[in-house]
Amino acid sequence: MEFIYPFQPPALLHDVIDQSLIDESNKMCDGLVPEGTRNYAISIDHPIHNLQEQIYKMAYDYIRAFENSCKKSIIDKDHKLTISKMWFSEFRDKDYYQAHEHGDNHILSGVLYLKVPKGLKKEYDNEVPTGGKIDGVLVSNVNGCIEFTYNPMIIPSRLISTNTFLVTPEVGDIYIWPSWLFHTIYPYYGSDVRRSVSFNLMTVPA
């Protein structure tokens, strides 16, 4: 488990789950939709126990690290974290998500990658060279990647700028970040499925 500081702060917490949990999680997702059904966000109302444990461990590690750095309590003894929502998405050719955040009452959000086509980056590089176009739109080699944007507002007169951090999906990778952090998933071009599980956490009375 490691913290990544692309924006210094906020941080992203990264870990890699083992193959048995990857298999369990894929089996959980397989049982929620008929084979061959195209889906973008299927709700997971009863996540498997081991996956919940992994998420909670990372989430509490994130909160404790933040508390230690700012010397302030974020979750007191009368509150706890809970997974308020979980869903999985299967990206197929040309699927994408526009820039968004998961704010509202959530404190942390995350993603786990369960299926990533082996030739993802290579396939995209071959189809669309750097600076190439698809359907007349200029693109770069970020096929199916997720990009985080810290402060999407740019106001030079007030010395406010922005920064981004690009993550290339790898099977088993799980990331957690503050829910207010904007991110986008670039269009995925390919014939195989790119599957990911997303989730939000919030604080509730203990």
Q: Whole-model pTM?
A: 0.83
Alpha-carbon distances, residue 66 vs 99, 141, 174 (angstroms): 25, 34, 19
Cα distance from N-terminal residue to C-terminal residue, the chain: 26
SS3 assignment, position 98: strand
When divided into structural domains, the chain yields a total of: 1
Tell me the CATH number at 93.
2.60.120.620
SS3 assignment, position 166: strand
DSSP β-ladder status, 182-188 and 173-178: unpaired
Domain that holds residue 191: 2-205
Averaged in consecutive runs of 10 residues, what is the pLDDT profile of the chain (206 residues)?
A: 84 94 93 69 90 96 90 89 93 78 90 84 47 51 80 67 82 94 83 89 93
CA–CA dist 65, 87 (Å, integer): 27
Residues 201, 104 contacting (CB under 8 angstroms): no
Which one-letter amino acid corresponds to residue 191? S
pLDDT reported for residue 123:
46
Residues 126-170: tens digit of each pLDDT:
444 455 555 554 455 677 788 888 876 666 676 666 778 888 889
pLDDT reported for residue 179:
93
